[in-house]
Each structure stands twice: as C-alpha cells, then as structure tokens.
Chains A and B, each alone.
Chain A
Amino acid sequence: MKHTTLNRIGFQLFALLLAFGIASLVLLAVGASPVQIYKDMFGSLGTKGKIADVLVSWAPLLLATAGLLITFAAGLWNIGVEGQITFGAIGTTLVLRLLQNSAMNAGFIIALSIFAGMLAGALWAALAGALKTFGGVNEIFGGLGLNFVATALTIYLVFGPWKRPGTGSMSGTQPFPEQFNLPLFEGLRLSPWALVVAVVGIVFVYFLLQGTYFGLRLKAVGKNFRAAYLLGIPTWQYMMFSFLLCGALSGAAGALQVTAVYHRLIPSISSGYGYLGLMVAMLVNYQAIAAIPVAFFFAALNIGSIQLPIVHKLDSSFSGVLQGLLVLFILLAEGARQRLTPKA
C-alpha cells in the first residue's frame, strides 16, 4: 500500500515537472525568461494580501468543484456548471435588488440572497437534468447550450432592465450599497464568510460521497445505471438530485461572486470557475479533500498571472496554458503509472 502511494507521488511529481517544462518552452518561444516569470507568479504569494487574493478566487472555485464531484460521481459531465454559477449570481442580484430598499436587516437580506443564488443555480441545473432524463439530450450539449443562454441573459440584464443609471456598461450593474456586502477582513479583499461557505460546501460533499448511502447509490448510478436500477435505486431521480446539488453549490459560488467580490452583476460574473472546476474535479478523482489544495494551487496560478501583462507584457491567459498542461500531464502520468507498474 505504502509503496503504491510513493509510486503515485513520484509519477505526479514527474508530471508536474513536465508541465512546467513545456510551459517554460512556450515562454522561451516568446522570448520571456521562465525563471523570472515563475518567480513573479509565485514569489508574490509571500505577502498576506496576495494570499488573501488567492483565497478570494479559491472559495468560488472550490464550491464549483464540490458540486462537480457530485455530478461526476453520478457519471455525468455537467459542463453546464458555468451557467449554473452565472444563474446563481443572477438570482442573488435579483433578491438584493428587490430588497435593498426594504426595512429588513441587511445581514438577513444577504443570507436570503445567497440562498436565492443556490436556488437559482439548482434551477438552471434542473433544466440540464430534465433535458437529460426526459428529453434524452446529453448533459454536455444541454449544459453547453444553457451556458450560452445564461451569459446572454446576463448581458441582457446588464444592458437592459438592470442597467446603471444613464447608459449600460460592460462594468456591470450599479454596485449595491455597502451594507449589502459580506464583511471583509480588515484591510483585505477577502470575506471570512466566503471561506466558511466554501469549506462547509466541500466538507458536505466529502461526507456525502464517502459516508452516506446517498453517495454510494449515486456512485452505483454513475458506474452502471442499469445495474443500479435492478438493485432498486430510482436512477433518474438520483441523477436529478445530483444536478440539483451541483447547481446549488455552484449557485452559491455565483452568490459569493456578487456578495463578496463584485457587489454587482457583471457580464463575466462566473470568471471561468466552472471550467476550471471541471479540471480540478478531474484531477482529484472523487477525493473531495484533495480538491482543497488543488483548487488553491489553481487559484494561485490565476492570481499570479494577473501580474504578467503589467510586468512582462505577456497575456494573463498563460495561467490557463499552465493549468491545462498540468491536467493533461497528471492524467497522462496516472495512465502511464497503471501501465508501467507491475501488479503484485
């Protein structure tokens, strides 16, 4: 057992090296110095403010990943997670807009809006789920379609009914008054509440998948839904449940984007966390706890790359290149390990 763990770590380190190696070649090709760039990307992690910034994007990323782990367990490729984050953000914005002039306690309104975001995310996921279970539309295609619809809807809202006083702008709707923002750590952009929601989300998913009958049944549906049906599991209901739970968690991610980060609805409110979450979920392969550091690492790459255009005149999409390479090589290394390691 111990031997296999060591073996796996060895292969993954090798994959890490390869990914960074190839990324370095890309950097060299455009005439940049890899050493300097990695130093700038990670070196800045030293300050408290930077770590806080990483955690700001870690929270929604972790929530999206948590949701995806559930749909992965059910054997579903919920590409629609982006749209579910977006729709969650729309739901949250809607409730905040409706209640911002009411006499209710602001904290209560924020809580209500986050809840509305989860509900909206679940609703959007339910659409993909219904298309899959009742319409026979593959969840990949249905989800992808719904992503476009959610983005279009956001843009319509930002430039139409919810536009700022005057003319609508890509910078989003009118920011909400300060009392509707989740409180932040002193001097940082990070909200402790965002961290709490994210950690609760991933711990919930961990226990759900590791320890509960629900999780086991979900896995059975994912591994072989015909067998699951014969074993007495209501299969389509479980698929729908997994969509709903994933939608609620990614809706929460969208809600945090509104209440803790942007304080308004912006066109790219999901920030690609859904797609990034897909990569994290693939990497950790059911291991919910492992998602915590992996998501942190990916978030750090995102934040680190913000420096690149300013300091090095490189596009910040370099972090995407690095993330993609990492996923590819780690999956490759796992395949190679299984092939090359003699079984005993």
Chain B
Amino acid sequence: MKVELRGIHKYFGVNHANDDITLTIPSGTIQGILGENGAGKSTLMKILSGFIHADSGEVLLDGKSVVIESPAVAIHDGIGMLHQDPLDFPPMRVIDNFMLGQKGGLFPNRVRAARDLRRLQKEFDFDIDPENYVDSLTVGERQQLEIMRLLYLGARVFILDEPTTGISAAQKDKLFETLKKFREQAITVIFVSHKLEDVEKLCDQVAVLRQGKLVGAMDKPFNQKKLVEMMFGKEVPLGTKQTVCQDRTVLNLDRVSIEGMRLKIKDIDFHICEGEVVGLAGMEGSGQDLFLRACAGLIRTVGGVVKVNDRDLTGKSYHTYKKHGVEFLPAARLEQALAPGLTLAEHFILAEKQTGVFINHERGRRLAEERIKTFNIKGAPVSPVESLSGGNQQRTLLSLLRHPLSLVLVEHPTRGLDIESVVYIWGKLKERCKQGAAIVFMSSDLDEILQYSDRVLVFYNGRISHPFDANKTNVQQLGELIGGKGWDE
C-alpha cells in the first residue's frame, strides 16, 4: 500500500512537534525514519496510526485521502502499529490475544483463529504455543504475535517503533527476514529507529527528522556520516573517560542483605569513593534495581549496615538519605520522578531550598530560565513537564539535582535517548563527579557501562560479581557473566 503524508503539522502547546512533513512511501517499501529524541518521529507515527490527530495536513493511502480518527479506523484502513512495548494483554492466552480486535459476532471462532494462527506461524517460521500465556513469552515472541495479529486484521502498512530494542540477535534476524517477506507482498513497512546499523541493513529509503522538520532523505546505499550529520546537525564527539583519584568513601555497605518480591541478595560488601562512577550490568530484574533502591533508603535492608559519609543510615527513609546528599533518579521519569500538570518553573521551586511561607514566583521563573539555558532544555518555564520529550525530561531531572551532592543513583540514565542527549547527560553527570559526587548507575547498554564507569558490578539472579576495573574488562567477559556463565557455585 502506498502511503503519502502531505503537509502534516502538529503542535503541543508552543512546541511545533511536526512542521510541514511531506513524505511519500511507495508500496512494498521499507522506509526508515531516523531522528534524535524529540525530533517528532513518535508524533508522526501516532498521527498515522490514529492515536493523535494532526492539526493540519493530509494522509493518502493508495492515492485516496483518509481521515484516521482512531487506531481502530487506522487498522480498518490497513495501518497497523507495533509499539516499542508490545500493546498486548499479558494475563491472557496467545490465541485470545491473537483474536483481539477482530470484528464478528458475539461468539469468537477459536477453532478457525487457531488454524489461521498456525498457518501464519508456518509462513513466517515462528513457533509460539497458542495456549501459552503471553506473560511467559519473550519480548521478541510478543512482537511476533503482534505482527501476526495485525496481519490477521488486514494490515497493509506496518509501523514499527524501535522494534530491535530488547530482543535477541536471533529474533532480530527473524524480524528482518519477516519484514523483507512483507516487501514481496507489497506491504509497506515504516521502521522507526535510532540505530543506524539496523536502518542500513534493512531499509530501502530513509527520512530524517530534526526538531519537527523533515531535514533530509536518502536512498540506498546510505552514507552513514551524512545521516549522522542530518540527525544532529553536527558530528557528536564521544565523551572522554577520566578517573579522578580518590580516597574518601561516600557510601559503604557492610554485609547488607536485601529482599525483593522475587529476589534475595545476601551479604553485599561494597563501597564507592568520591568522584567515582560504578556501573551495574545485568539482565533486567537481576537485582540492580533493588541494589540502587537499597542504597537510597527506598527499600529497607534486612541485614547489615549502610553508611553514607561515615554516618550509619541503616533503616532510615529516603528523605534522611536525601538530607545527606543522596539522590535517586528512576527510569520511569514521568511516572515516578516528575509531576505531570506542574510546570518546569514549579518543579524548580519545589526542588530548591524553600524559605518562608509564600512562593517567590519571579525567582522561580528566573531560576527556571537559567536552568533551561544551562541544561539546554527545549521548553519554557511555563511548559508543563509532560509536554517535553523524553530527552528533555531527563535533562530536567538532572537540572533538579541539588548542590552539593554526595551520591547519585541512576536507573538507565540514557535509555531511549539519542546520542547527542547521551553525551550531554553524561557530561553533566561527570561534572558532578568532579565536584565530588559518586555515581552508581544501572544500564542494559554494555557500551555505556564500559565507557562511563570506573568499576563495574555484574548482577545475575540476585548474585553480585566482584568489581571489575572498567579499563581491564571487556564486553565479552561481562556478557558471559550477564548470561550466567563463569559464576562459581
């Protein structure tokens, strides 16, 4: 199916998220959409799949103008969207998920659906048990299920939002194979990503968005250097690693034990010095999140002693830790760290030391303007935080950190951010280190861990490795430990 976008505009408040986007995707093409965070990719895809409406502009499918009122209308018109986190129902069976969205009478025809599911599985060489529950599937399998479901609903245009995040290499290969098969069936694929390598490998043509505008397009073969230039406007230098020599211990854990819902971690001995960065590697849910939260006083430890700046804070609440210069930055920014509905200025007022009873709004506004400038946040003092893009929300979080700090605990400091934001955010974090703060962060990106940490801890199923010197280890060694190899019993 041929997809044409004509003059799409979308505003969020003052933010011009899509600025006159015009793009034609011929039938059976794999179209890559590149751009940094906040460039307007997600907005454009949400418009195309009916989640939000364009302020002006036109969408044509096979030359016919369509009005996409809702995701239901989108799928009726043949547009299916595969979200980064699959929008399925984990407590339900595979077959029930597969049948969702189907039109038809009161009683669904399970037998026919099961037969069709088998046929599709065979066609694409997938292997999912229809009677299994979705919560037992891997992200890759859930993706496969979504693809089949959308096909079954008659999708002729597939939008995939960062589909290669969180799936295995084998699943990625299979996904790419599937998408290439789509090409033969004249199904159009729109592939949204910030991974250049994936885009190069898969796409027939690429469009690049920057600050809401379509800044360039390229056909195969791609010139990687030029694509990066189009995305960021300039070549981004990678941050340099530096190790500050230190002696003062900021945080000390002495035989600390933690009990989570599913996981127990026993007898942790750990310390971190002023200016040091420690990265926590491991599969999601191996205990890193518990470790970080225990270091912040957000969960109670069940044994051992936690000391911050040589003061025993065992069993104290996060607010006590905060008083001693500890800050925790969660991965779910809008859910856990920012208050949607309040403005940037109000966040700064809340985070600052408050004197008196009445708010000095003027001071709040000045403070916000100053931080917006220093931290390069795309927004105004009166912008509600939820109107900012992910990268700008993360910058806001960093700009809310107080001075001075002893310890910053960060979950996924750069997840979902573009390279420029990554470099920027690490620049700001390293600045904190130079001022004497220690940083502990978890990440699923091994390159990030190796590049920015001084020492690395690997987590596996509630066990913690001894600290590795980041200069002396490598992806291979850490990768094996993460996968469960090399742990002595």
By a beta-carbon cutoff of 8 Å, the part of chain A in contact with chain B is 207, 211-214, 216-217, 219-220, 223-224, 226-234, 342-344
Contact = CB atoms under 8 A, between A and B. Distances in A.
Contacts of B322: 232
B318 to A, nearest CB: 7
A227 B334 CA distance: 8
A343 B11 contact: yes
Contact of B357 (A213, A232, A233): A213
Contacts of A229: 318
Nearest to A220: B339
Interface in B353-403: 354, 356-359, 400
Given A219-B341, A220-B350, A226-B336, 13 more contacts: A211-B358, A216-B342, A216-B359, A224-B335, A224-B338, A224-B340, A226-B335, A228-B339, A230-B328, A232-B322, A234-B319, A342-B55, A344-B11
Interface string B139-153: 000000000000000
Contacts of A343: 11-13, 55
Contacts of B464: none
Interface in B280-336: 318-319, 322, 328, 330, 335-336
Nearest to A215: B359
Given A211-B358, A219-B342, A231 B336 contact: no
A223 B342 contact: yes
Contacts of B341: 219, 223
A232 B319 contact: yes
Given A216-B350, A343-B55, A223 B339 contact: yes
A153 B200 CA distance: 75
A230 B11 contact: no
A216 B330 contact: no
A73 to B, nearest CB: 11
Contact of B350 (A211, A212, A231): A231
A192 B349 CA distance: 39
13 contacts: A212-B357, A213-B357, A216-B346, A219-B339, A220-B350, A224-B335, A224-B340, A227-B338, A227-B339, A231-B350, A231-B400, A232-B322, A343-B55
Contact of A227 (B336, B349, B358): B336
Interface in B186-216: none
Contacts of B346: 216, 219-220
A227 B337 contact: yes
Interface residues of B, number: 28
Given A229-B318, A342-B55, A344-B11, A224 B339 contact: yes
B100 interface: no
A211 B356 CA distance: 11
A342 B338 CA distance: 27
Contacts of A344: 11
A342 B55 CA distance: 7
A211 B359 contact: yes
A223 B12 contact: no
A231 B339 CA distance: 10
B125 to A, nearest CB: 43
Interface hub of A207, A233, A343 (most chain B Cβ within 10 A): A343
A229 B338 CA distance: 10
A216 B349 contact: yes
A217 B358 contact: no
Contacts of A232: 319, 322, 351
Contacts of A227: 336-339
A231 B358 CA distance: 19
Contacts of B356: 213
Interface hub of B11, B356, B357 (most chain A Cβ within 10 A): B357
Contact of A213 (B337, B338, B359): B359
A213 B55 contact: no
A216 B352 CA distance: 13
Given A227-B336, A231-B400, A220 B359 contact: no
Query: Which 9 A-B pairs give the minimum distances between C-beta atoms?
Result: A223-B339, A224-B339, A223-B341, A226-B336, A213-B354, A220-B339, A227-B339, A343-B11, A211-B358
A220 B342 contact: yes
B340 A233 contact: no
A226 B336 CA distance: 5
Contacts of B335: 224, 226
Contacts of A228: 339
Contacts of A233: 350
Contacts of A226: 335-337
Given A212-B358, A214-B357, A344-B11, A230 B339 contact: no
Contacts of A214: 357
Contacts of B330: 230
A342 B337 CA distance: 31
A224 B354 CA distance: 20
Contacts of B319: 232, 234
A284 B327 CA distance: 37
A227 B318 CA distance: 12
